[in-house]
Each structure stands twice: as C-alpha cells, then as structure tokens.
Structure 1
Amino acid sequence: MRFRTFLASTAIAVTLTGLATAPADAGVRHGGGYLALGDSVAFGYRPGAVTPVSDYLNAANFRGYAENYAALRGLRVANASCPGETTGSMLKAGAQSNGCENSVGSPVGYRTTFPLHVTYAGTQIDYATRYLRTHQDTKLVTLNIGANDMFVCQATTPDQCTGPDFQAALNRMSRNVATILGAVRAHYRGDVVLMSYYSLDYRDPVQVKQVQAIDAALTQVTRRYHGKIADGFTAFRLASLRTGGDPCAAGLLIKLPAGGCDVHPTAAGHRVLTAALALAR
C-alpha cells in the first residue's frame, strides 16, 4: 500500500512539474475540441467573499482544470459548466439546482445573473449534444457533476441527507448521470473522463465516507459508458499529506477572510486536478 501511494505521489508530482513549467497558453490550438461539462468546480468558480463583483461579468476571469488542460494539450475548450448545476438541472430546464438556474427557495441562480464560459439556451446537455454533432474533431469530454445533488438533499430533507435520503439521492444522481452519458455517447465515441470529487478534510472519516460513496456511484456509471476516471479524491489526498490530510492548510481550497476555507479549489487545487486529468488519459 505504501509503495502504491509512493508511485501515485511520484506520478502526480511529475505531472505537476510539467504543468508548472508549461506556459499558460502552451500549445497551438490545433489539437481538436474539448467539451467540459459540470458544476462550479469545472467552471473554476471563486466565492464572492474573495472575488470582486466585476469579475463575475466576464467568465474568462475564472480558470480551472479544464482551461489548464486545454492549454497543456493544445485543445479548443468549450466549457459549458454552470456553478450550482445538479444532475437533474443539467437534463431538464427548471429542475432544482443549487444555484445554477435557480436556488433552493429562490428562482435566482448564477446563470440568470452572470455569463457562463459559453452562451447557450436550454440545458447543459442540450448544448453538449449540439456541440458534439457539430464538432466532429472533439477529442475529449469531461464531466464533473453530482455534489450539488447532495447539497440540495441536505437543504430539503428532514435528516439533512444523513439517513435513507442519502442513498435515495445517490440512486437519483446515478440514474441522471447514466442519462447524461447516454446522450453524450449517442454522438461521440472518444474519451470521456469523469472528474471525481475530493474531500474537504481527509481527517474527517464521516465526510470521507460520504465523498467516497458519491465517487463510487459516479465511477460505476461512468465505467458502464466506457469512460475513464480522473481521481480527484486521491490527487487531493496526496497533495494534502504534508498537512496531515487538510486540503485547506495545504492551500488547495480557497481561504475565506473570516477563517477556514471555501469548498472550491484554489489555482493550486486546480493544478492538482489537472494532473489527475492528465494521468487519467
């Protein structure tokens, strides 16, 4: 086990070194298209506590693992992700999201207020299928979705998604992801890579178990559709070893002015996820 951890750590370290030495816009963009789908992690979102309002008026101010990887490989990225997207809202307009098109108890969401990286009407999966039909040179599709399903579950169930409601939410998420990947595969036979979720604190066994359950469910569905897994969970864990398993202290999560960290990755955190994506391919 220790030897496998050493090998994984070494692979990620080598990949990160390559990322650090590559220029921000490395590669001429002739390598084909890259469609990034997902939520706020895929979007590169930063919370309002550390971000000027003016930054939200231009989505180019937000850069995450998708933009990093596209620059590294010379791909043209179309990042359709939306902060707060759930698996349900990705498929059906008006479905409950966690801040994309609407929020729990509110019709207001990110997409109703600020621009996304790409502009489209309808759902994210509608955009994805249109893109794949019209971009035959697409080389990669990534998906990062599911966590917001659990946040909605926490906000709308009596047990805050800690009992049977958690498994019900997992099952619903899995069915939706199967529909999403089925729609992608109807138009595309190339690489599909799921970015698995990281833990906010690897010292917390309860949270770690929940994240692992989410990732396991997502992985199972992705494998059914011949997809690959970018292991964000392990990448963050290894990058947090020097701080005892605390991604916040390791600088992987955005620090908040009032103390603690937000759930979203820093630029360093996104470099770790980019390394995980590079290793998956």
Structure 2
Amino acid sequence: MIEQIVREDTGCGLRWRHIHANTLDEYTGILHWVADQHRGQAKGLGLHLQEVASAYPLKLDLHEDGRLLASLSPYEHLHRLFRLCVTHVSRNIKTRKVPDRIRMLMRSLVCVSHVDFEGTVHQIEREGGKEGTGEMRHKVLSGEDLGIHTQNERLQKAQDRRTDTQERLAGLQEGTPVYAKAKKALQRAELLYKRAAEISVAKVGSGSGKVSLLLPTSRRPVVSPTEPPESHTTPAASAVPQYCDGEVDDSGDIQGSEAAVAEEPEQQGRGKRMRFNNTLYACNYDMHRDSESSGEE
C-alpha cells in the first residue's frame, strides 16, 4: 500500500540504498530502517526487499563482491539496513546473563564508529558464552571448536604414524622386501600427515578461540626478531599473522617441535563477517531463529 501511494504521488516507487544505489558513497533511498523487536514484521520487510531486488537480476550487491542482489535472502537484506530502536537494545543487553564487563562491551558497540568493532565482537563471543554470543552463533562456534579438537587429534595421529614408520624403516636393511614395503608405508604416512597439516592450516581463524589449534612448525606465524616474545602469544586485535611460504617437508624432517600452538589473534582470519548491523548484534537479537520458530510470528 505504501509503495503504491509513493508511486502515485512521485511517479516512482520507494528506493532503497543497498538496492538502487550504484556505489556505497551514493545515498539514494532509505539507508536505515529502525523498528521494534518483532520478528514477523522484520521478516515481512526482508521478504519485500527480496521481491524488490528480484527486478534487478544482474545487479551486483554493494557489500559482498560477486554476489547478485537477487540471490540475497530476506535476512541478508535486513543485515544491510535493519536496526532495533535504542530502547530495545538497552533492555536486551540489561537482561543478558553475562558479566558486567561483557555487558559494557555490548553497549560500546552501539555507536557511530568503534575503535575495534570486530575485536570487541570476538571478545564477546569468546567470553560471553551462549548468552553473549546468541544461540545460533554459539552453535556455530561450538561446532567449529569441536572440529578443531577433532583435527588436532587427526594431526597428532598422523604425526605419530609417520614417526613410528620412520623408526621402523631405520632398523631395516636396504634392498630387502621388508624394507621396500616399509618405505611405501612411510610414503603413505607422509602423505596423510601432509594432508592433515593442510586441513589444520585451513582452520586458522575459525572457532571461538577457546580451543588452541595445533599447526606444523613450518606453518607457525612468523614473528619479527625485533618484536618482544609476548607479541606472539598475545597479539594485538589488529594484528594479522603471516605464514611461512614453504610447504610441509616431504622428507618428514621438520626442525623443532612437530606441532605448535597457534594463538588466534582477536581479528585475524574471521573472514568478511557481515556486520552491517551493530545494534542487532549488540542486543543479541538473532533473527535467524525465526526460520526455526515460525510460531512466534
């Protein structure tokens, strides 16, 4: 109805910045939509925006490179403009069963600009538990932590198997059938270890930070000689680690300890997490739960 009235009065329909603008610097149409905490109304707005975006099948999204506007879900549209009113934000933060320190961090996110928004969010996720993280996000991080723990065991087993095979091969006489068989077993063990190491490296930056990730020595974060030792164990929130270029040594000769604990920086490797809506996260309002509990509409 509103769309029809605007079209009759102005000759064109409502315009939304994230849909109709060509760049992020272009302030065309509605930038923010502030509303009360009502999941049904929020989802209805998201569905409407999805319908509007369907008229532009080839237009790219302004926030995610390579994404088409028409491919965005209703909740992804809401991430780009939906905000809760300050009253609901403050009330939700107040009712969270989290330490006062975490509650203060949540309140600090409700601002125009933040010194370290991503680092603060990560700290809330790591120390706020289920109440501070949100049910859906907590499930995701718990699953990633379990995956890291499982991968740590897989890497350790692969390393033990490779070491045992190397020791057995060293005690055999070259040229014998038993030696040839053991050598093939060592090649398989080294291949399994290398694959396990690559999978472990791919998990850098995942999880809540509560479970340390085991990495091969050749993939440990590079620390500058001029930095104090504690700069590696407690990296700054803005630090982004760099990793050695060398692959895992096929010969199996890795200097130093075979596995090293990689401390996860506050902000490293988190990817392009879509946090267009600071206040949505700060108030722990997870609209994605609506898809699982449609009865609350």
TM-score, normalisation: structure 2: 0.21
Q: Considering only CA atoms, is the larger Rg found in Structure 1 or Structure 2?
A: 2
TM-score, normalisation: structure 1: 0.22
Which protein has the bigger strand share?
Answer: 1
